[in-house]
């Protein structure tokens, strides 16, 4: 069940799935058991011909506790009950504007331990924080979650796709200095703070004016700023680059990739065995 007229959202790749359970967005008004399929969170229930529940899951959140499998007191960072992670907002292949082709899958293919927490994961996915030139061996990304050394990744979709192997994983984020700073300053006005976290190491500026610092705190509302743990040793002009250490690759890239391009460790494989491993990511 899906809206065949929708060709710019949801999974559009090949091979085609052997079953469809819903349209790509809530706006298609696709129904499953009389209810819309929500793009961010919801629940799915599989019944046999007699109407008995064979399997069920919650995705994105604990929407229908009775349909959730696993230990529902699961707690901690980004946890609230036992559920399937929802593909999307954190990565470039999820259900957000201009981004498709991220999916949740079982670890490994077909495994069912009756725990949504243990059985499912999504691909590691992010977006390029800044454009990358041909010949580059380091990329700046909005998130490094799920990426690891030795992992093969894909940068950009379609005809401009390029594969690379990760040498080392650093920290996320890339922005620019908002207003000029002076030697000794600890507050660094920035254009945005997307991807940055307290405690991470960042690089400020380039060439002879380059320096590293550790993020002490981040002001994300109002006048966005990053406070560093120690006073700056250089002055920095407005527009100077501020970035995490990013992901370093084992070989130079052959193509140019624009900022915002998706980065992922695999694509969905509908109708064929998935490629997740027990660490929760693709092989």
List, for residues 192-217, the tens digit of each pLDDT value.
888 899 999 999 998 899 999 999 99
pTM for the structure as a whole? 0.68
The total number of structural domains in the chain stands at 3
- Based on the domain organization, do 72 and 189 belong to the same domain? no
pLDDT the model gives residue 81: 72
Question: CA 142, CA 172: separation in Å to the nearest integer?
Answer: 5
Instruction: Please tell me the predicted confidence (pLDDT) of residue 102.
Output: 63
Question: Is 52 found in the same domain as 34?
Answer: yes
Same domain, 11 and 103: yes
Same domain, 17 and 134: no
What phi, psi does 65 have (nearest 5°)?
-55, -35
Residue range 217-255, pLDDT digits in tens:
999 888 999 999 999 999 999 999 999 999 999 999 999
34 and 45 in a single domain? The answer is: yes
Confidence (pLDDT) at 45: 85
pLDDT of residue 243: 92
Q: Do residue 31 and residue 96 come from a single domain?
A: yes
Contact 117, 78 (CB under 8 A): no
Do 259 and 274 lie in one domain? The reply is no
Per-residue pLDDT of the chain (283 residues; tens, 9 = 90+): 455 666 655 566 666 666 665 544 433 333 344 444 566 778 888 888 888 888 888 888 878 888 888 887 765 555 567 888 776 543 333 333 334 456 777 776 677 888 888 888 777 888 888 889 999 999 999 888 888 899 889 898 878 999 999 999 999 988 999 999 999 999 999 998 888 999 999 999 988 999 999 999 999 888 999 999 999 999 999 999 999 999 999 999 999 999 888 888 876 666 677 666 554 444 4
Q: What is the pLDDT of residue 269?
A: 67
How big, in percent rounded to 5, are the helix, strand and coil portions of the chain? 5, 30, 65
Q: 156 and 179 share a domain?
A: no
Residue found by looking up tokens 């370093």 in the block: 248
Interior angle at CA 261, CA 260 and CA 264, nearest 5 = 120
Domain extent, residue 136, equals: 126-170+246-264
260 and 229 fall within a common domain: no
Q: Are residues 211 and 86 part of one domain?
A: no
Q: Which two tokens stand for residue 125?
A: 């996915």
pLDDT of residue 121: 77
Claim to verify: residue 44 and residue 108 sit in the same structural domain:
yes
Same domain, 179 and 59: no
**pLDDT value at residue 146:** 80
pLDDT, position 125: 82
Q: What's the pLDDT score for residue 118?
A: 81
Distances (CA, A) of 20 to 49, 124, 167: 18, 23, 38
């Amino acid at each position: 069940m899906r809206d065949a007229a929708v060709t710019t959202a949801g999974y559009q790749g090949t091979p085609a799935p052997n079953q469809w359970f819903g349209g790509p967005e809530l706006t298609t008004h696709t129904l499953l058991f009389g209810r819309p399929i929500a793009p961010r969170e919801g629940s799915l229930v599989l019944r046999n011909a007699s109407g008995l529940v064979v399997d069920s899951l919650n995705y994105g959140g604990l929407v229908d506790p009775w349909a959730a499998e696993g230990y529902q007191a699961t707690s901690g960072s980004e946890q609230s009950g036992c559920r399937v992670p929802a593909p999307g907002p954190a990565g470039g292949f999820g259900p957000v504007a201009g981004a498709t082709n991220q999916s949740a899958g079982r670890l490994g293919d077909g495994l069912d331990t009756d725990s949504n927490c243990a059985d499912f994961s999504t691909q590691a996915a992010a977006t390029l924080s800044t454009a990358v030139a041909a010949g580059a061996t380091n990329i700046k990304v909005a998130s490094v979650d799920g990426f690891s050394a030795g992992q093969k990744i894909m940068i950009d979709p379609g005809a401009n796709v390029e594969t690379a192997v990760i040498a080392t994983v650093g920290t996320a984020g890339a922005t620019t200095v908002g207003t000029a700073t002076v030697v000794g300053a600890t507050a660094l006005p920035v254009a945005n703070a997307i991807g940055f976290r307290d405690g991470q190491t960042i690089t400020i500026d380039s060439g002879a004016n380059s320096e590293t610092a550790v993020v002490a705190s981040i002001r994300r509302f109002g006048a966005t700023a990053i406070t560093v743990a120690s006073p700056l040793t250089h002055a920095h002009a407005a527009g100077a680059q501020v970035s995490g250490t990013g992901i370093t690759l084992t070989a130079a890239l052959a193509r140019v990739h624009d900022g915002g391009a998706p980065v992922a460790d695999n694509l969905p494989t509908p109708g064929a065995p998935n490629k997740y491993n027990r660490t929760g990511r693709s092989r």
